[in-house]
Amino acid sequence: MRITTLAALAGALLTAALCAGPAQAGSWQDNQSLGGFNNVHLYTPDTDSPVGTGKALLIVLHGCTQSINAYKTANLETAAEEFGMVVAVPDAMNKAGFSCWSYWQGTKSRSAGDYKNLIELANELSGDTARGIDPHQVYIAGLSSGASFANTTACLAPDVFAGVGVSAGPSVGTSSSGAIGVCEQANVESRCRNLGGAYQSAFDTQVASIAHGDADTTVDTCYNRQNAEGMAGLYGVSELPGSTQINQDGGSAEEYLWQDGRVSMLWLNGLDHSWSGGQGASGSYIGSASINYARYLGEFFSQNNARVNRNLPPRVDGLTLVANGDALAISGQADDEDGTVTAITIVIEGLAGGGETLTTSVDGGGAFQATSGSLADDLYTVAVTAEDNDGGESDPVIDTVRLGPAPPPSAPVLSDIAVSVDGQCATVSGQVVDENQDLDAVTVTFASGVVDADLDGVRYSARACDLPGGANSASVAAVDQGGLADSDQIDFQIDAGQVATLDQHISAGRLDYTNYANCYLEYGTATFKLTEHTTSGDQCQWRDDDASCTGPVQACAGGGNGGGDGGDGGGDNGGGDPQPGCQQESAYNYYHKTAGRAYSTGNYLAPDYFAQGSDQPMAGSTWGMTTLYSSNGGALWQVGTCP
């Protein structure tokens, strides 16, 4: 009798396997040791979240008797790429019978068992700056036993988890028999609040999605509304009238919402006791009859997360600079899509060091104007920024204007060159100042050819794609109408990774059958990315991110431009791959200061900027572009690129 009961329990709590359909542009890393877990499958997309800063993080919990490998057939990649979510699938360390997440037993505490491990996992991933995860967009979800454990963890640590997804999960604090027997009544609001303890205030900004298949005959469907109403009571929100049918990924669901998008409740149409993976999903307890629930979570969380800054910055347009005797008249337009412009800051800087800072406001139509004091004859750079009622600040609009007679002919001057790399594309930008104001053109020569740079005031930028993998360089030339010129150059790395199936990689010559078994065991028939690395001279090798799947040593596909043994390359401002743990930022000096990476003397007429911690002087004034790096987590910053 006991065996029968346990077998039923195993079937009941069998939680769906989490994500994976065919891999997209991002990549899986399997069996990682992260947080307190020995094995975590991790998918990292190439995209960022549509809100906040950086990527989101979604932790999904498996169910009883389930291997985390099963979660690579549930279309999680689709959600990850669309909503910029890193997806982590941990294998429980402290399992109950039949490898369940033990939501019904053990101490429920932030410092106990897998609750502690999940919090550590979330903090480790979001705290690693190289991963680019926004700590305000950390979420947890699961199915059945995993769903109940996820809900309990979100109650214990509402400060860590901004949202929770509960699919077919017994309510917090219920017993194991409640999953396969008669519905257990539970005061979810009270239980969750008590678990939150000193962190209860974080419930004010947490959101929850509750879901259940309407064809589930394993876990009682009573938990769907009980969980939704319990979390709504905890958040203090009321249910909105009516419902909405969602049609997505070959299936449908009925959606009920509470005030401010704080809680949603889904009936997943036609779904049994499974994780809802949408069309094409497969595997044990992974359903394809309804919508892609992970995709729904990505949209629900990004739309309703109350912890991210959703303020759109203002914009400055139509900057006009007019020399009026020994003064400058500055005018333009400033608008804010979701608020009002409260202040305009105008920084005037002369080549010889003179200048001033003005502040003004906009009229009812968004127009602004200001006039400087008396200024010496010189070429002046004028930078204008707008601030809105929520503290948002526009990008600076920068232009030049001359007071007094033109000087003798002189070449334009290039400065602040920087590069940003996106896949096999690179954007080179910088500043160009022509004292005679007769600049004719700025061109950037990439490996793929010459590109005419776009000019915006004193700023220029040029972009090229389909660049060869490995070491690259770009040369910048600025020429005035008299033929006088200046030039500059920057080096950078390109990751020329190729995404394909195993058979396609072999057909393309990147792999052969020597390492076929390893590659097949890791990826099967899914797509995955290989990157070309230089081995010696003009010899290269294609390999995946952890070198577990490698190809033969052969001539480099890019004519000797392999990725080098350092890895994928990329990053800003070149110089090869940064050392592990090194962070590098390129920005205007002013924004280094506001971000805490630099400080200044406070002299607005001729500000001096210094790297925070090292006290190294930074070239240029307020709107000079500088690259800083830190090798100790941002405690000390130095001028230059990562070693």
**pLDDT tens across 93-119, in order?**
888 877 889 999 988 999 999 999 999
The whole-number average pLDDT for the span 26-41 is: 87
Beta carbons within 10 angstroms of residue 460's beta carbon: 24
Tell me the pLDDT tens digit for each residue of 238-283. 999 999 999 988 899 999 999 999 999 999 999 999 999 999 888 8
Q: For residue 559, what pLDDT is reported?
A: 37
- What 3-state class would DSSP assign to 23? coil
Q: What is the pLDDT of residue 90?
A: 94
By residue count, the chain amounts to 643
* Cα–Cα–Cα angle for 270, 273, 275, rounded to 5 degrees: 90
> Is residue 2 within a helix (H) or strand (E), and if so which, with residue range?
helix 2-13
Cα separation of 463 and 486, whole Å?
Answer: 20
Q: Locate all alpha helices (DSSP H) within 212-335, ordered by sequence.
A: 222-235, 293-304
* pLDDT tens digits, one per residue of 524-533: 877 778 887 7
Q: What is the pLDDT of residue 513?
A: 85
Q: Dump pLDDT digits (tens) for 466-477.
A: 787 778 899 999
Residue with tokens 């009573």: 222
pTM of the full predicted structure? 0.58
Would you list the DSSP string of 358-385? EEE---TTSEEEEE-----SEEEEEEEE
DSSP string, 527-577: -EEEEEEEEETTEEEEE-TTSSSB---EE-TTSS----TT-S---TT-SSS
Query: Of the candidates 307, 309, 388, which has an alpha carbon nearest to the alpha carbon of residue 342?
Result: 388
